[in-house]
Amino acid sequence: MNLKPCPFCGGEVTMQYTGSSDWEVDCKTCPVETKFWVSAQKHGYGKGEADEAERRWNTRSSEADQRDAERLKEAISDAAYEWEKYVTEDNAPVSLVTYMERAFDAAMSAQSDKEESNG
């Protein structure tokens, strides 16, 4: 199986069949684990349901990444705008909003560079 990494920490994950069409994904690095159900009747017993479980995890992973990134960016911006309200030009010569957004973008592009080099 070629599984995408954990969307929370980027760690390697394992997937196993736990019975009754349930599949479980565990992160090796952080405490994240998730379970989902794949219809063997619909997708085929054995390889069919394993392929569907793999496809579903890999799809979910990238969608969750994007949602998490958007949420994080919003949270950072909100916090920064909130902070700016209480700070005058005298003690904040550089805009914290600009600073934090640049820092965030740099972190995100570093992350995607890392993902691309991992294949």
- Sites of contact with Zn ion (CB under 5 A): 6, 8-9, 11, 27, 29-30, 32
- Least separation in angstroms between residue 14's CB and Zn ion is 11
The nearest distance, CB 5 to Zn ion, in angstroms, is 8
* Nearer residue to Zn ion within complex by CB, 30 or 87: 30
Could you give the strand order of the β-sheet that contains 13-19, starting from the edge strand earlier in sequence? Answer: 13-19, 22-27, 33-37
* In the complex, least distance from residue 96 CB atom to Zn ion, rounded to whole angstroms: 30
Tell me which residue of 4, 13, 116 sits closest to 55, measured CA to CA.
Answer: 4
User: Which CB, 22 or 68, lies closer to Zn ion?
Assistant: 68
Q: How far is the CB of 26 from Zn ion (least distance, A)?
A: 9
Residue 25's nearest CA partner among 58, 68, 49 is: 58
Decide if 101 contacts 76 (C-beta within 8 A): yes
Residues near 99 by Cβ (< 8 Å), separated by ≥ 6?
A: none
Q: Which of residues 1 and 30 has its CB atom nearest to Zn ion in the complex?
A: 30
Closer residue to Zn ion, CB minimum distance, 11 or 48? 11
Paired strand residues for 37: 22
